[in-house]
Every structure is written in structure tokens, then in C-alpha cells.
Amino acid sequence: MANDWDSTEPRNRQQNEERAPLLPGLQDEAPPQDQARWFSPATKFVLMIGVMSFFADFTYESSRSIVGQFLRLLGSGPFAISLITGFGEFVGYGLRLVSGRSADKTGMYWPITIGGYILQMTVVPLLALATNWQVAALLVILERVGKAIRNPPRDAMLSHAAKSMGYGWAFGVHEALDQVGALFGPLCISVIMAARQDDYRFAFAVLAVPAITMLLLLIVARLLYPRPQDLEPHPELEDRKEISRTYWMYLAAAALVAAGFADFPIMAYHFQQAETVSSTLTPVFYAVAMGVSGLGSLILGRLYDRFGIGILVPLTLITACYAPLAFLGGFWPSLVGVSLWGLGMGVHESIIPAAVAPLVAQNQRAYAYGLFTGVYGIAWLVGSAIIGALYNVSIVGVVVFAVIAELAAVPLILVVRRWVMVALPTLPVSE
């Protein structure tokens, strides 16, 4: 494979200093977000997309907080639930490769994003009409398809605005707003479930309100920001054709993390089977996880811009503890485990996309995001299938598999960090 970076020596000190912002945490200057103007068009765009994501997450994360129990009520077993959610993640991540490449080739970032959001926001309320678990499973998968279509072009558009703010901070702010919706949504669903005596169909129907609100905001965002790529300061004038080996190694590490990361519905199923958490409080647990994810995104985004990709090492070690706590513990250990799981979700949704942007050229970002999350989804499917199969055999086996998969990513992250530090003096400079 070709070398990651152009080996040409820096032509002068000024050019060498201009490279530093591409790799956060490795320069002496203050992080780029410290110089960001809070009322700049780039910042307003990030906040606008964040508010959209608030209502989007309010909708689909609310449904995900109860869909495991709903599938169980309709007659689905643990292996089927794990396979459904795992396949949904596989499709939801795998199709991003197509979505991302299509966006880069056609430049139709907004149309592809809008189409994905319309599909995702439409199918969630339709779960209220599902009469058997097969129909519900199809709708669950279609919701993931909608997310697959809209995420790569949306993240590419966000990355243009993120450069002036600092990638970690911009994606962290977006994820925080995103997760606030994921916090309040399940809490509202929990109240509805308690008031309506576990009426799942009514709960799904209510989610049509935030879904419609989100689609209206999407139209406003499209009108206000027709060309988000114009928000990027000092855009690249020369396109790189190859994706670096650093990107591929980072992708391998993320795949291992995904394989050991159980989806929430299988944990919710376990809570019901083990009788550790009631059906009413399970959405509250999910809301707590989303709250931890949102708050963590802000803090972790800052840390990423300051210390770079190496921050993923301690975070991976910490979040790997979610499995023994959630699957082997009682009520309170399960709550701690779910909180660590939520912290891991914050890492997945903020630091991971923030770290991808500096590793690839501007014209490859949607494709790189799609490819990255496509492989990530395959790993999630395989891991979910293994976790679902192990669940019927040994809960301890589930925990061992999850922890080993997570910890196996740490050496790869350390390699990526070393390569990034070595590459810094010789990064190619745009003319």
C-alpha cells in the first residue's frame, strides 16, 4: 500500500504550522474551537443540525427504548431480537457506503439527507400498527435504513463547519444536542407507559409529533444553508486519491469496539428475564444512558481537540466494563453498566466521526464516513449475533466476549496514535 502521507519536506515554517490543525491535540497552540466565533454561519449551522437531531433522536431513540420489550410481547425470542437489531445496525451502517459515495459523486448532499430523514421519521410511528413481530422487525430495520441514507452526507456537511470550530468540539456539540433528545424522548415514553399501563401502540403513535417537527426544521435548514461546503475555511484545492493506512487501522479498531458493544434491546430483554429492572424503568435506564452520552460528548470533544486520538485508549478501557455490570449485576450495577454503555455511545457518535475527518481528503469525506460505518455495522451485526447466541448458553460467555472484543481495540488505537504523531511533520500542504 502506498505511504499514508506525502513525504515531501515542509517548504517553510509557515506551511508546517498550517498543518497542525489537521491533527488535533498535537500542536502547542490553543485548539481551533477557542478561536471560533459563536455567531458565525458555521456555528449556527452546527447548532441548526443539532436541533434537528434533537427531534430526530427524540423520535427514534424513544422507540428503541421500548422496541425490545415490544418484540418480546409480539412473540420474539432473545436470539431473534438480537439478530433483528444487529441486522438493523448492519443495514443501517452498511448502506452508508452507498449513500456516502453517491453524495460525493453527485454533490447531492441535501437531497440524499432529506430522503433518509423522511424514511426514518415515517416508519417509527407506524410501529403502532404492527400486528406481529415480523412486521415490527421490518419497520425497525427500515428505520435503520433511513438513518443509513442520511448520515454520511449530513456528517460530511457538518465536517465543513467543524473545521473552524475544532472537529471534536463541533461534533461534540452536535452530539450533545442529539443526546438531549435521546434523553427526554425515553423519559416521556416512560411516563406514557406508566400512565397508559404499558400501551406500546399509543406510545409509538405519539412519536409522530416530534417526527413531523423534525421534518419541518429540515426544510428550514435546507433553505438557510443550501451549500454547507462553503462554510469550510481554506478548503482543499488538491484532492488526495488514496485513503491512508492510518484510516484503515483506525477502522479495524472501531470494528472491534462495535463487535463487543451490545445493542440496548438485548440488555432490555435481559433486564426483563432476570427481573432486575421493571418494564416501566427500562426506558428511564435508556434515558440515563443517553444523558451520559450527551454530556460526555461535550467533555470528550474538548479532550479530543486537546489530546487527539489517544484519548480513546482510557475511554475504551472504561466503557468495556459495561458488560459485566449490565449482564451480571442487580439493579444498581445495571444502572452503572448502562451509564458506561451510554458513555460508549457518546464516543461512537462524537469522537469517532471527529477523528475520521482529518484522516481523509475533503472530496472523500462522505465516502470515508460511509465506508467506515459500513464496516462498523458488519462488526456490530456479527457481534450482536454472537451475543444473542451466547445469551442462551451462558451469560458469563456474553460478558467475556464483549470485554475481550473491546480490549482488543486498544493496541490498534495505540498504533494509530503513533502513526499520526510520526506523520505530523510531513503532512501534505494544500496550495
Per residue in 258-313, pLDDT (tens digit) is: 899 998 888 988 998 899 998 878 888 988 887 888 788 888 888 888 888 889 99
Higher pLDDT, 244 or 319: 319
Q: Taking the mean position of all CA atoms in its chain, how far away is CA 84?
A: 19
Higher pLDDT, 232 or 399: 399
Alpha-carbon span 292 to 285, nearest angstrom? 11
The interaxial angle of helices 282-307 and 167-195, nearest 10 deg, is 170
Of the ranges 198-212, 325-339, 348-362, 401-415, which one carries the lowest mean pLDDT score?
348-362
CATH class entry, domain 38-224+242-426:
mainly alpha
Angle 139-145-211 (CA atoms, 0-180°, nearest 5)?
65
Of the ranges 108-117, 291-300, 418-427, which one carries the lowest mean pLDDT score?
418-427
pLDDT in the model for residue 415:
93
Question: Quick check: 90 and 377 in contact, CB under 8 A?
Answer: yes
Comparing CA positions, the residue from 409, 400, 410, 405 lying closest to residue 327 is: 400
Report the 10 Å Cβ neighbour count for 106: 11
Of the ranges 244-248, 323-327, 413-417, which one carries the lowest mean pLDDT score?
244-248
Task: Kindly tell me if the per-residue pLDDT of 351 is higher than 60.
Answer: yes
Angle 391-397-403 (CA atoms, 0-180°, nearest 5)?
115
pLDDT in the model for residue 291:
81
Task: Kindly tell me if the per-residue pLDDT of 391 is higher than 50.
Answer: yes
Mean pLDDT, rounded, of the chain: 83
Question: Quick check: 270 and 391 in contact, CB under 8 A?
Answer: yes
Return the percentage of the chain with pLDDT > 70, whole number. Answer: 87
Alpha-carbon span 330 to 322, nearest angstrom? 13
Q: Tell me, what amino acid is at 70?
A: F
pLDDT in the model for residue 240:
56
Q: Please report which residue ranges of 308-364 form alpha helices under DSSP H.
A: 312-319, 322-328, 331-346, 352-356
Q: What cell numbers appear for 383 in the block?
A: 457481534
Q: Tell me, what amino acid is at 43?
A: T
pLDDT in the model for residue 423:
62
Higher pLDDT, 403 or 72: 403
| Domain ranges, ordered by start, for the chain | 38-224+242-426
Higher pLDDT, 14 or 215: 215
Q: Taking the mean position of all CA atoms in its chain, how far away is CA 138?
A: 22
Q: Name the most confidently modeled range: 54-58, 97-101, 342-346.
A: 54-58
Region 355-382 average pLDDT? 82
pLDDT in the model for residue 84:
87
pLDDT tier, 234 (very low <50, low <70, confident <90, very high otherwise): low
Alpha-carbon span 404 to 321, nearest angstrom? 11
Alpha-carbon span 163 to 240, nearest angstrom? 18
Of the ranges 76-80, 204-208, 414-418, which one carries the lowest mean pLDDT score?
76-80
Of the ranges 18-22, 132-136, 186-190, 261-265, which one carries the lowest mean pLDDT score?
18-22
Kindly report the length of the chain: 431
pLDDT in the model for residue 172:
87
